[in-house]
Chains A and B, each alone.
Chain A
């Protein structure tokens, strides 16, 4: 919403300055978005410099000039003036501007095959003098003004632009803004001018609102004005229209626009002579179409509110008029419409047709239904003043009664809500000044809501009105209590926090990537999950919710590789989606590591990443999350996006929960890259079920002994199978098992391998003698041989 201070003065008698008003508007909830100098008709004409006046390739008397208009790039302008030359300072008129001398609107055009972006002006074209021999030759003083408006912008005159929240349609008119200011002690709201126009002639056009289901129109007011002389608007009106950022068109159109912005009252003017017989306001039939004032054809759905005559559609009610009945500069007789349309239905129609207009913007937010006649009166007054003519009586068709809402209001609610005591008289005064009718009834107030405030429903809305006008700065701030009754983080959140920092401490950079990803890449990772499509994705390559963290991590890893960063470890902790319903998501920590093999760097040859590095990172993080070695086991089945031979899963000891995966990613997806995943919910669930208090530490000081064994096993036997068997032989005596060699090759059958391990044996109660040790060693060999089919290597 835009307005100027002098426009505001039409409605508000105030001695406050523009800057005071701006500050006040902000503090009462009418946010000032921008304050800019007023533009007038001449603002378009800019000081410019001809950088080079080249010869026009196809015309001897024309020149093709490179013109500097203060922007980054110069423009090409064709010019026929004999004095056009390199370095000349002159005045430039851009496409879209209107030349004062002849009212011609400039367009980008081709002159003898060369495109000209605008025009360089003579004095006579700008009505500065009669000099038309050449273009204006400005003196050197203008050198610093290139790009600035030649006529300057009037000092101190600004357009104030407000960002009006959708609940305040009343402030989409200058009068509403004036009312809010007057309620804030910023002046007195002027009484509206009483119309003195005599409405003599007969309103002889039949108008009817059809009773349809979901009829958007409930009031249709109109009057006929005959024998007008439509013309260019006078200066004051043009300037107001320009201040709104619109272009003046003709007095009739400018006046309807003016009233819309003045009173938040959209109007529409029809050329009466183009209306056939009568007007019917009805719902559209599917397939009806019309050409609108924006020069576009619209084909309608069923049940859109249209204004029609016997020939067809005249316009879309409350949204846009039709071209067929539009007014023109030579229009003699008009029908002026002032109606009320239902916000929701207007919105629906406009959305379906993807149509936006100032009228629609207002109707969908709520126009005062009681302003129908005031709007007509205001426009009639101006039209008669500017264009002359005779007016008919007003005709108002109405199918629905609008009753002002009454609220029983406990004024104590104000103090209770804001925490500061507010005097009841002040409450009453503020509400009255805002247009509410307030009557005291015992402890309560009976408050009648003005028809222009569709946003007020109940007591709390009145509280807001009061406190907004009083000012939030009057509310006393209360220091917060430093008291905690609940832990800040719950059990899961604590693990989230720890997992995040634990993985980061292993050399991984934390990333945050989109929760959505490219379906094509996601398909490689979704396994049996359904892909969750977004109906309206931001782009076609971000069209599904991610089923895994890998797709995005790999994408960005590769992007970094292209940037030239080889050794990288990235991770993310966040949601992946296992279904499309709320809550069907899990929290995954996913790390990814890429080795960049630098053949030239001998110093780094020993640091090559393999699967055991990634396993180390994962296992160490599990330890830090207090999952102990004896709480999990390693299994081989992993999702298909891992290398089937170089990956493993970490499973809870009872086999029920997968805590994580690790391994080389499948070479078909990305080469030489390792990754791991931790499933945080599973981990926390497992931990919560198996909560153990830490036992007090005991250790044995009796002598410990190491015994080495080498077992010959089948190639597919896993080291874990041996250690598990050995560990279970005697959990008290066997303190540690360390694998120190795995050997395949010479001296060993080709389907076998040798696993060498060191077992540490120690008793908590005595020093073991030689025969004790021999016994346990024998038991180890026999049990392993029996349970795993291994053979001790001799």
Chain B
């Protein structure tokens, strides 16, 4: 065995016997570095004859390739072994709590307003708003409410002055007045918003939410009113069929006026909307009174149409099974988390209103 072969065997033995990545690096240097074994052998070539040169060079190359292969496989073997050992030590108890991700919630009233806007958007209504503080004219007088109407009593309306001229609006209907006064017919709007009445008990809160609807054009009749509300209720409760009844009623600002009941039944303590033989009053509506149109500078001989008012909080209670109106405004952390909606859950026409 030549020295050359001995040396190669020695390298092989060294590689075979080691399990240490640092030792492997040392061997690599010994063999392949500038002054390493392979280069030192190539240097010897100059002193050899042509024939010897050829044979020896081929031997060096062979040995180089062989050592390289062994080195690589050994390196892989050792690094795999090291990684496996490391992984073994890295065991983490993944049942520990995850990092908290705080996503907030949208209040059910806001969600329901978005749902409602979405439904009415589909049939061409746009959203209007009005101020919470109103004057007596827009809230009552323009809406054909007589000067001595019981609704104007101190115990129903919050007033901001002793003369009872500015007040917190008791309904969203003044938005009708504002909308008609600032524009020209046709009008096709909904107006959701805060409303206020001096009332506080199990089923009343001093502030609540209403949705106003108004559609005025040359030929809008009660058939349109029925169709519109029927469409809305069906879409809102996401049912195919809805049992609805229109009952004549009285509001100063509409004539004829009606209250709308929807059918329901109770099953396993849960309310099922749209069927059953019980009735639940959910909204008031009617044809806008000619006096209101006149007060809003709309000619009742040319234009007519309907208006409606719905309690938004009540719709939310019905749809999402919330029992207590007062809880809407109590800001209880648990309640907000439980009944609130994911902010990414935006009601849309193409995806549907609710998840």
Contact = CB atoms under 8 A, between A and B. Distances in A.
Interface of A: 26-29, 31, 165-168, 343-344, 347-348, 351, 416-420, 458, 460-461, 463-464, 467-468, 472-473, 475-490, 493, 497, 500-516, 532-539, 542, 545, 556, 559-560, 563, 565, 568-571, 574-575, 577, 580-585, 603-604, 607
Given A167-B250, A416-B221, A509 B109 contact: no
27 contacts: A343-B148, A417-B221, A458-B290, A463-B256, A475-B246, A477-B223, A478-B221, A481-B124, A485-B124, A486-B188, A488-B126, A488-B127, A489-B126, A504-B103, A508-B104, A510-B105, A510-B336, A512-B109, A536-B154, A539-B200, A560-B332, A563-B333, A565-B333, A569-B104, A575-B194, A580-B161, A583-B133
Interface of B: 96-97, 100, 102-107, 109-110, 114, 117, 120-127, 129, 131-135, 138, 147-150, 153-155, 158-162, 164, 166, 168, 188, 194, 196, 198, 200, 206-207, 221-224, 226-228, 230-231, 245-250, 255-259, 287, 289-290, 304, 328-334, 336-337, 340, 343-344, 346
Contact of A166 (B206, B250, B340): B250
Given A418-B222, A475-B222, A511-B331, 14 more contacts: A27-B248, A31-B259, A460-B289, A478-B226, A489-B117, A501-B106, A508-B104, A511-B107, A516-B207, A536-B198, A545-B160, A559-B331, A565-B333, A582-B133
A406 B96 CA distance: 84
A184 to B, nearest CB: 11
A478 B247 CA distance: 18
A29 B248 contact: yes
B247 A472 contact: yes
B123 A480 contact: yes
A347 B162 contact: no
A582 B222 contact: no
A581 B135 CA distance: 8
B164 to A, nearest CB: 8
A417 B222 contact: yes
B329 A512 contact: yes
Contacts of A487: 126
Nearest to A607: B100
Contacts of A479: 227, 231
A330 to B, nearest CB: 40
Contacts of A604: 100
Contacts of B246: 472-473, 475
Nearest to B161: A535
Contacts of B304: 416-417
Chain A CB within 10 A, most for which of B247, B332, B346 = B247
B131 A582 contact: yes
B171 to A, nearest CB: 15
A480 B228 contact: yes
B255 A460 contact: yes
A539 B201 CA distance: 13
Contacts of A581: 133, 166
B223 A556 contact: no
Given A486-B126, A534-B159, A476 B148 contact: no
A418 B246 CA distance: 13
Nearest to A461: B255
A500 B226 contact: no
Contacts of A348: 148
B211 to A, nearest CB: 14
A584 B223 contact: no
Contacts of A31: 247, 249, 259
A454 B293 CA distance: 22
B131 A585 contact: yes
Chain A CB within 10 A, most for which of B117, B123, B132, B164 = B132
A29 B246 CA distance: 10
B326 to A, nearest CB: 12
Given A505-B104, A506-B104, A538 B247 contact: no
Nearest to A552: B331
A577 B333 contact: no
B134 A481 contact: no
Contact of A478 (B107, B109, B161, B224): B224
A468 B256 contact: yes
A719 B124 CA distance: 51
Contacts of A607: 100
A464 B248 contact: yes
A329 to B, nearest CB: 37
Given A167-B250, A559-B331, A510 B110 contact: yes
Contacts of B334: 563, 565
Given A348-B148, A504-B106, A584 B133 contact: yes
A418 B158 contact: no
A509 B247 contact: no
Nearest to A365: B150
B248 A480 contact: no
A499 to B, nearest CB: 11
Contacts of B188: 485-486
Nearest to B194: A515
A534 B117 contact: no
B221 A418 contact: yes
A500 B127 contact: no
Contact of A420 (B97, B120, B125, B223): B223
Contacts of A417: 221-222, 256, 287, 304
User: Top 9 nearest A-B pairs by Cβ distance?
Assistant: A29-B248, A507-B102, A419-B221, A419-B223, A165-B250, A556-B331, A472-B246, A504-B343, A464-B256
Given A167-B250, A515-B207, A493 B127 contact: yes
A473 to B, nearest CB: 7
A464 B287 CA distance: 10
Contacts of A418: 221-223, 256
B172 to A, nearest CB: 14
Contacts of A477: 223, 226-227, 230
Contact of B122 (A482, A501, A556, A559): A482
A582 B161 CA distance: 13
Contact of B166 (A472, A511, A580): A580
Contacts of B287: 417, 460
Given A168-B250, A479-B227, A505-B103, A515 B196 contact: yes
A739 to B, nearest CB: 26
A104 B226 CA distance: 58
Chain B CB within 10 A, most for which of A420, A461, A479, A501 = A501
Chain B CB within 10 A, most for which of A507, A509, A534, A584 = A509
A510 B340 contact: yes
B257 A464 contact: yes
Contacts of A343: 148
Given A509-B336, A515-B196, A580-B133, A475 B158 contact: no
B248 A510 contact: no
Chain A CB within 10 A, most for which of B109, B127, B230 = B127
A505 B148 contact: no
Contacts of A501: 106, 343-344, 346
A497 B114 contact: yes
B160 A534 contact: yes
Contacts of B166: 580-582
Contacts of A545: 133, 160
B181 to A, nearest CB: 13
Contacts of B329: 512-514
